[in-house]
Structure 1
């Protein structure tokens, strides 16, 4: 029976070097270990990076090729593109347990000891050297690169306290206090935001990546460290805060470019997985249209002239927005002592704080202000998604003048009335106000006859917001909600079916159902 065919319990029963040899154990580098387990997963059809969506045909194949090639990896992409998540999932390509010399600081392999401590212990005890088992979770180390990170943090330094305690001179390597990288021997070491690391610190990584050497002050050390390095970097950092020095970049074997979700469906899948909807919030019912709108906000932000494209719009924005949306509806239900509630389109304006804190604005955006930019993004998302469920008012204007305008009855009602749709209205008041609008119920019935109950009221409100975005009616924010009313005469006059330069009859009706002068 081979060592790798042993069960976990059989392995954990091995407690000495002699028993380990008898079991047929042979040293294996971490890159070979990752490769072996990756091949096993791929042959069995098991998902290698579960929970990472949208990368099935792009990033994940690149990562798999890099691991098969035994490469160090740099994941290059904007914020919120699952770079760190991919690195953390590599843990599951490690063996569940590996043998380590007991008491070793450097996770020494019993058959290939690295540290002075392990070498001396094996020389003293031989096959009776005690062996412990290290779980794969303990073989993953992650460090966020910041300007204050030092060589001592990563590599190590002479420890005067250890020298005094052991009564050893500084020339003895046993006084070294090893940093994070040597302590990650036989593991995965991740440096997030690599460009933020000072250039002189990046230089200290040269030999480790190339030869496995480390240099600590005046010590002559050659420790053939066995580490799988994974770096993450944001292209924005190259101009804002620093860069990856060229010699280090040359020693990173594979640089893999990440990206944002390329479809709205993938974005929704990620948001659903990551959003933390707490116990008790199940009183809120959410429909797919609202989820689409949240993802559409991110799409609009990534295309906005006011948002810094180099900085990107993190997937964390839609996750936070989803959580805020649920909480906005929950808060309304609590204020009205309702046991359940259905999400409203106006709840979408409760996600503004999730947007303003997640987008970096260019100069023009700063002039507008983050709140105005966020409101505009919500408005654009509503306008885009409105066309998925109702006819395009812009195209209707170009059609023949006698064709029925489905929005006309609603517009006519707003010629004499206005509607204050407050955010904290009870469900009953909310529904009554929507039902009071002539033609609104009929409009939804015409295009979505299958809708009933709460979902139908949601679409009635959706129709109002969409009409406002296409300037069929006006929408104005109030302190506690929104006000819908008729447009000014000047705006109405501009909404004609025909070109301005064509002559019209005095009694001809315009798109809003009003007489033109």
Structure 2
């Protein structure tokens, strides 16, 4: 089947029906168009769904098979699994431009007119009927299913104002105001969160999916619509808010199940692609892979946490928002201290709690703990998990009788009554000066990671302290402005009461409450 001619410079040389016929243009359905363009891309080894990671062996092959089969598609998965993004990428499988009868609201094919308007126009002007060209971006329609969506919104209804203006009876098809679906004729129509659509509205989709026609009140109208339907749904919605009615499910040809990234590396690729880091932030803040790993590990810990509702899922938006806040926290610190640039710190990661609290659905036990406490625990578990990739296991070092623990000097320093405050807004000079106080801290890092830059060495020194606290070798108390490290045993006897003030690193007295 010949491909349709494409206009150049965004203005078609073909402007009439007669010119279109002479060009040899042949009409084809949307599904045939998607199929043929997919075949061409596969043969040319082109990336059909750019920017989608982790689905190369699962979702994408299933999606391609559905398109080749000409199926309507339902993408079923938890939140934050790129369902809507995949649907929007289907636009790339449409032809760049498509001929349309000028002025038709149903995107009528000049060779196969559908609406009364287009038929009458062609009958009046013949080969001189004006033809315009529609870009593929305009052939995509998306509707979020909400309880207030009506049949009139999706399908259409009689318009009394149009009837009065045109002086037509209600029995005339020209008084119909078409809804979103008829207006998506010859394009892709997406309904997000399908289970949220009321059952009686879902019923109105039966005929469109099966026979391709619509029914509007008492009108004798049959429009053989040409539409590729894509639905998205969350399995949680099946019990919480609604469900997909069985006859509708039966008419959706392919149900494709999406999933979360199966490795941290895939998650990192997604976060790096989606995080909205501004150019000035990139110039001011230097990041590292450890921070990326920690952010992704938080999502992994959340998906397996007893405090988080597993049925609700943990969206990839959690890691994206958390990383954006990590960078923003480092940027703010540089601005406060008048520094031209800064290196990301583990404290920036700890202070990104607000990006997590709203992204996880808690079970009863989690609600009892509180969203903030749960977020801190998830971060602590992420630190504990990744700590072993960079430093010796503290639990195993305790059992080595012939060799002292590599962390002995650090523990002894805190055991002698010393404390260390690491404040979020501390300048680079004060931050390094504070870490250099702890004997043995730098030695461990440089021995295990000898070729790191000075900035990254200090980052790993801070990481080491947090890791030791997660393994209960030292104590870490959260302060309003940062974190305080001290001996584990002494902290058990010196826990401040609510409202007790603590000395800051300067002479100034600032009230801070430990948790």
| TM-score, structure 1 as length reference | 0.93
Residue aligning to 2:503: none
Quote the Cα distance in structure 2 between the aligned partners of 1:7 and 1:99. 10
Moved more, 365-374 or 402-411: 402-411
Residue aligning to 2:510: none
Quote the Cα distance in structure 2 between the aligned partners of 1:452 and 1:409. 24
Residue aligning to 2:409: 409
1:153-206 per-position Cα deviation (integer Å, ceiling 9, x unaligned): 000000000000000000101000000000000000000000000000000000
Residue aligning to 2:507: none
1:458-485 per-position Cα deviation (integer Å, ceiling 9, x unaligned): 0000100000000000000011010000
Residue aligning to 2:499: none
Q: Secondary structure at the match of 1:348?
A: helix
Residue 4 (structure 1) shift: 3.8
How has the CA–CA distance of structure 1 residues 11 and 95 changed in structure 2, closer, same or farther, with 3 Å as cutoff?
farther
Residue aligning to 2:152: 152
Quote the Cα distance in structure 1 between the aligned partners of 2:431 and 2:11. 65
Residue aligning to 2:297: 296
Residue aligning to 1:211: 211
How has the CA–CA distance of structure 1 residues 445 and 6 changed in structure 2, closer, same or farther, with 3 Å as cutoff?
closer
Matches within 5 A, 1:168-317: 168-282=168-282, 283-317=284-318
Moved more, 445-454 or 47-56: 445-454
**Counterpart contact for 2:79–2:315, Cα < 8 Å:** yes
**Counterpart contact for 2:77–2:235, Cα < 8 Å:** yes
Quote the Cα distance in structure 1 between the aligned partners of 2:199 and 2:114. 29
Mapped pair 1:328 → 2:339: no
Residue 274 (structure 1) shift: 0.4
1:283-331 per-position Cα deviation (integer Å, ceiling 9, x unaligned): 0000100010000001000110100111100001100001100010011
Q: Secondary structure at the match of 1:280?
A: helix
1:397-456 per-position Cα deviation (integer Å, ceiling 9, x unaligned): 233x12131000110111121101111110001001101111101111221111231000
Quote the Cα distance in structure 2 between the aligned partners of 1:2 and 1:185. 21
Residue aligning to 1:52: 52
**Counterpart contact for 1:3–1:24, Cα < 8 Å:** no
How has the CA–CA distance of structure 1 residues 440 and 289 changed in structure 2, closer, same or farther, with 3 Å as cutoff?
same
Quote the Cα distance in structure 2 between the aligned partners of 1:237 and 1:7. 44
**Counterpart contact for 1:2–1:23, Cα < 8 Å:** no
How has the CA–CA distance of structure 1 residues 413 and 189 changed in structure 2, closer, same or farther, with 3 Å as cutoff?
same
Q: Secondary structure at the match of 1:148?
A: coil
1:94-129 per-position Cα deviation (integer Å, ceiling 9, x unaligned): 000010001101000011110011111111111111
Residue aligning to 1:511: none
Residue aligning to 2:421: 420
**Counterpart contact for 2:17–2:126, Cα < 8 Å:** yes
**Counterpart contact for 1:12–1:133, Cα < 8 Å:** yes
Residue aligning to 1:131: 131
Quote the Cα distance in structure 1 between the aligned partners of 2:158 and 2:278. 49
Q: Secondary structure at the match of 1:351?
A: coil
Quote the Cα distance in structure 2 between the aligned partners of 1:279 and 1:225. 46
Mapped pair 1:457 → 2:458: yes
Residue 8 (structure 1) shift: 3.9
Mapped pair 1:93 → 2:100: no
Q: Secondary structure at the match of 2:352?
A: helix
Quote the Cα distance in structure 2 between the aligned partners of 1:274 and 1:110. 41
Quote the Cα distance in structure 2 between the aligned partners of 1:52 and 1:346. 31
Quote the Cα distance in structure 2 between the aligned partners of 1:278 and 1:243. 41
Quote the Cα distance in structure 2 between the aligned partners of 1:60 and 1:231. 16
Residue 351 (structure 1) shift: 1.1
Aligned-residue CA RMSD (Å): 1.5
Quote the Cα distance in structure 2 between the aligned partners of 1:192 and 1:289. 36
How has the CA–CA distance of structure 1 residues 185 and 324 changed in structure 2, closer, same or farther, with 3 Å as cutoff?
same
How has the CA–CA distance of structure 1 residues 254 and 333 changed in structure 2, closer, same or farther, with 3 Å as cutoff?
same
Mapped pair 1:352 → 2:329: no
Residue aligning to 2:498: none
Quote the Cα distance in structure 2 between the aligned partners of 1:360 and 1:46. 39
Quote the Cα distance in structure 2 between the aligned partners of 1:51 and 1:426. 38
Residue aligning to 1:514: none
Residue aligning to 1:80: 80
Quote the Cα distance in structure 2 between the aligned partners of 1:228 and 1:86. 14
**Counterpart contact for 1:333–1:340, Cα < 8 Å:** yes
Residue aligning to 2:398: 397
**Counterpart contact for 1:72–1:253, Cα < 8 Å:** yes
Residue aligning to 1:18: 18
| TM-score, structure 2 as length reference | 0.94
Residue aligning to 2:384: 383
Moved more, 234-243 or 445-454: 445-454
Quote the Cα distance in structure 1 between the aligned partners of 2:6 and 2:376. 60
Runs of 4+ in 1 over 6 A off after TM superposition: 489-492
Q: Secondary structure at the match of 1:28?
A: coil
Residue aligning to 1:115: 115
Quote the Cα distance in structure 2 between the aligned partners of 1:420 and 1:404. 27
Q: Secondary structure at the match of 1:231?
A: strand
Residue 490 (structure 1) shift: 10
Quote the Cα distance in structure 1 between the aligned partners of 2:268 and 2:435. 29
Q: Secondary structure at the match of 1:63?
A: helix
